[in-house]
């Protein structure tokens, strides 16, 4: 995976040592967070595949809220929080990108429109 901080040496990255990237949890987080991160290993990749599928079916892109709505009639509905976490993972992995477009949410706030990079 490409570094998010290409101009920095590994020991210079922000928050160095606070994040265990293999477990998606900070080292100082409570044991319940570590347990949740372990459980997430079992389904996170499936969730990412489902989200990528929704984005591929909608090439103009979707907000996280729109992804949730698009998945509701499927056999794998995800809630908003699950989607936001996996969208973040997909962005970090370089699979999706912020289109630069903004759309209003149900609460009339502006949200990023995500789209597949390929």
The pLDDT tens digits for 65-106 are 999 999 988 777 899 999 999 999 999 999 999 999 999 999
Among candidate residues 103, 106, 43, 101, the one with its CA nearest the CA of residue 76? 43
Q: Which residues of 11-38 are buried (b: 16+ CB within 10 A; e: fewer)?
A: eeeeeeeeeeeeebbeeeeeeeebeebe
* Tens of pLDDT, residues 1-59: 444 445 444 444 443 443 444 557 888 889 998 888 787 777 888 999 999 999 999 99
Q: Which architecture, in CATH terms, is 10-116?
A: Orthogonal Bundle (1.10)
- Domain spans of the chain? 10-116
């Amino acid at each position: 995976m490409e570094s998010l901080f290409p101009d920095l040496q590994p020991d210079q990255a922000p928050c160095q040592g606070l994040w265990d990237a293999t477990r998606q949890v900070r080292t100082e987080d409570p044991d319940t967070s570590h347990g949740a991160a372990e459980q997430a290993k079992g389904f996170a990749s499936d969730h990412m595949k489902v989200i990528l599928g929704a984005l591929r079916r909608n090439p103009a892109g979707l907000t996280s809220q729109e992804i949730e709505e698009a998945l509701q009639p499927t056999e794998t509905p995800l809630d908003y929080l699950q989607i936001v976490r996996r969208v973040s993972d997909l962005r970090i992995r370089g699979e999706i990108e912020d289109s630069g477009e903004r759309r209003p949410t149900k609460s009339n706030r502006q949200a990023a429109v995500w789209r597949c990079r390929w």
